[in-house]
Amino acid sequence: MKKLICKRTIKMGMAASILLLMAPLAAKAQEAAATETAPSFSDSELMMGLAIFLAAALVLAALGLLFATIALKGILSGSPQAQTETAEQAGSKSLWQQLKSSLMDSESPEQEEERMTDHEYDGIRELDNSLPPWWKALFYATIVFSVVYMAAYHVFGWGALQDEEYQQEVAAAKLEIEAYMAAKGGALTEENVEVVTDAALLSEGEQIFAANCAACHGSELQGTVGPNLVDEYWLHGGSVGDIFKTIRDGVPSKGMISWKAQLSPEQIQNVSSFIISKAGSNPPNAKEPQGEVFKR
């Protein structure tokens, strides 16, 4: 009966592994048929197929070790219960009961008595009981897996290690960002921002300044809590790129927040251009100069 269970289980495991291996291949073939192109597999798909194959092989190996352990134990067992069990008694158990008994290697209290040792403490005697076959089979499977993993990743280099995967993902992310920026016509930064002179854009910049910046820099940019923005002295640089960066990132140490969450790069460019357009306006009650001289 144990041989029958073993054969059935191995067949089921083989069938399951074949289905697992064929499923992604069938899906890829169906996708290729829909697009009328030849199927092609990426490195990740090939690695996934290899991983599934190894997993199925490990499952079969674990089952083989399990039933080999059970069979070997049956051969070497000298207990009267094992030798006197009749085919009739074995046949009276269901397939699940027989499999459970083989996996757990459970014994009756009478059988446990034979495994008692002489070690005793506080009325408790030690039972010389071996680990269940399923546990040992999984333990052996982890050994096999570790050998396969070491060979695949550290010897033959079939798969990328974590550091390599990280570098690959970073490179892929950079390509995606570049593609996104290209699709959007590029993105404004302190490196490529320019002063706009269009009246409509400057008017938009003035409205944004009045709504968000005038409270600290004054309605005429003369400076109040914040510095004067119309003289030639600047704390963080007076170029359009410097002003753009200061507005975008803020100056937390001075109490100025970052505006990149509220304003788009184009809006920050318009505000920066408006500030530059007001240079030298000399409003009344201007705040004293701060920072270093910047000549345009």
Phi, psi at 38, each rounded to 5°: -70, 135
Secondary structure class of 127 (helix, strand, coil): strand
pLDDT in tens, 98-145: 666 666 666 666 666 677 777 888 888 787 777 788 888 889 889 988
Asked if residue 186 belongs to a domain, the reply is no
pLDDT of the residue at 107: 61
Four-point Cα dihedral 52, 54, 59, 65, nearest 10? 170
Q: How many CB atoms lie within 10 A of CB 87?
A: 8
Question: Which of 129, 155, 181 marks a domain boundary?
Answer: 155
Looking up residue 256, the CATH number of its domain turns out to be 1.10.760.10
DSSP 151-208: IIIIIS--S--HHHHHHHHHHHHHHHHHHHHHHTT----TTT------HHHHHHHHHH
Note the pLDDT tens digit of each residue in 191-202.
Answer: 889 999 999 999
Which of 155, 170, 186 corresponds to the end of one domain? 155
Containing structural domain, residue 205: 199-293
| Distances, alpha carbon 202 to alpha carbons 37, 144, 155, 262, 276, in Å | 53, 70, 63, 18, 10
- Averaged pLDDT of the chain: 76
Question: Phi then psi for 160, rounded to 5 degrees?
Answer: -85, 140
Q: Is residue 184 part of a domain?
A: no
Domain membership flag for residue 247: yes
The verdict on 276 and 145 lying in the same domain is no
